[in-house]
Amino acid sequence: MTGSLTIAGLGPGDEALVTPEVTAALATATDILGYAPYVARVAPREGLTFHPSDNRMELQRAAHALRLASEGRNVVLVSSGDSGIFAMASAVFEALEETPQYQGLPIRVLPGVTAMLAAAARAGAPLGHDFCAINLSDNLKSWAVIEKRLRLAAEADFAIAMYNPRSASRLEGFGRALSVLKEAGCGDRLVIFARAVSTPDERIEMIKLSEALPEMADMRTLVIIGNSATRRVGRWVYAPRHAR
Ligand SMILES: C[S@@+](CC[C@H](N)C(=O)[O-])C[C@H]1O[C@@H](n2cnc3c(N)ncnc32)[C@H](O)[C@@H]1O
């Protein structure tokens, strides 16, 4: 009997931002795997087994999901936001490279609403022109790589969406990122701090980069740095569609 593996993004928090396609996959799943707080977002029901795991166990979790699918289970591996953005989809394909015997399994990747889109919509349209997304965690890449990407993104005048800006174990990085951008001449750019978007704890702040402090971000915050033309209109922030 062949099972299946569905890799699904649960969106930023609000039930209304879970796509109908993901909801349908959850309704027919036999097993849900994922980081424990994300698994907890799925409603229990008879016949559904939960396999929550720790934050840094992505490869083991991916291998576990593939093994269960090969045993005939209908597995859904959940991430927050979109599963392809700093989340589990890449980990599954990494695991698949190591286990060619699973490469014939039916695997689907279902898109979800990623945090930067939910945050941008709250602010207005700060991603309306060219932009990039950078993960500020240095768990899987060096800080030198992060700094280089920030400097080049500033030089190219991209708006920048920053994921994972600051955690209890990485208190320094976000301050360094702000310094790199200030040194690159971005002090006048608008910055959006979007915390816990689409949850009851949501908080949106918009200020100039020169006024931004490291403590304004935590692990529930998505930070968007505007490009040099990003501006306010009323209570909104938007990037014009044209480049100067
Ligand atoms: C490991 S990444 C996962 C990203 C996720 N796959 C996505 O597409 O949104 C976790 C980071 O996403 C951002 N994030 C996730 N949910 C968020 C929310 N509801 N509000 C603001 N930022 C969020 C934060 O920057 C957090 O540190």
pLDDT reading at 45 higher than 80: yes
When pLDDT is cut at 50, 70 and 90, the band that residue 164 belongs to is very high
Residue nearest to atom 10 of ligand 1 (CA): 164
- Which two tokens mark 83? 């599963």
* Model confidence pLDDT, tens digit, residues 187-240: 999 999 999 999 999 999 999 999 999 999 999 999 999 999 999 999 999 999
Please tell me the distance from the alpha carbon of residue 25 to that of residue 31, in angstroms, as a whole number. Answer: 11
Summarize pLDDT for 125-161 with one digit per residue, the tens.
Answer: 999 999 999 999 998 999 999 999 999 999 999 999 9
Instruction: Return the pLDDT at 43.
Output: 97
Q: Who's near 177: CB < 8 A, 6+ residues apart?
A: 136, 146, 147, 150, 162, 165
Q: With contact defined as beta carbons under 8 Å apart, do 182 and 213 qualify?
A: no
* Cα–Cα distances in angstroms (integers) from residue 144 to residues 134, 163, 173, 213, in the given order: 13, 17, 11, 21
Q: What per-residue confidence (pLDDT) applies to 1? A: 60
| pLDDT, tens digit (0-9, with 9 covering 90-100), for 104-134 | 999 999 999 999 999 999 999 999 999 999 9
Where is average pLDDT lowest: 22-26, 56-60, 83-87? 56-60
For residue 82, the ligand 1 atom closest to its alpha carbon is: 8
User: In the prediction, which pLDDT does 168 show?
Assistant: 82
Query: Is any atom of ligand 1 closer than 6 Å to the C-beta of 85?
Result: yes
Mean pLDDT taken over the chain: 96
Where in the chain are the domains?
Answer: 4-113, 116-238
pLDDT for 169 equals: 82
Residue 213 CA to ligand 1 center (angstroms) comes to 20
CATH dotted code for 116-238 = 3.30.950.10
pLDDT of residue 2: 79
Domains 4-113 and 116-238 share a fold: no
CATH of 4-113, one of 3.40.50.300, 3.40.91.50, 3.40.50.10490, 3.40.1010.10: 3.40.1010.10
Q: Mean of the pLDDT values across residues 11-17?
A: 98
> Which atom of ligand 1 is nearest the CA belonging to 135?
2
Q: Which residue has the higher pLDDT, 81 or 171?
A: 81
How far does residue 144's CA lie from ligand 1's centre (Å)? 23
Question: Cβ neighbours of residue 124 under 8 Å, at least 6 residues apart?
Answer: 233, 236, 237, 238
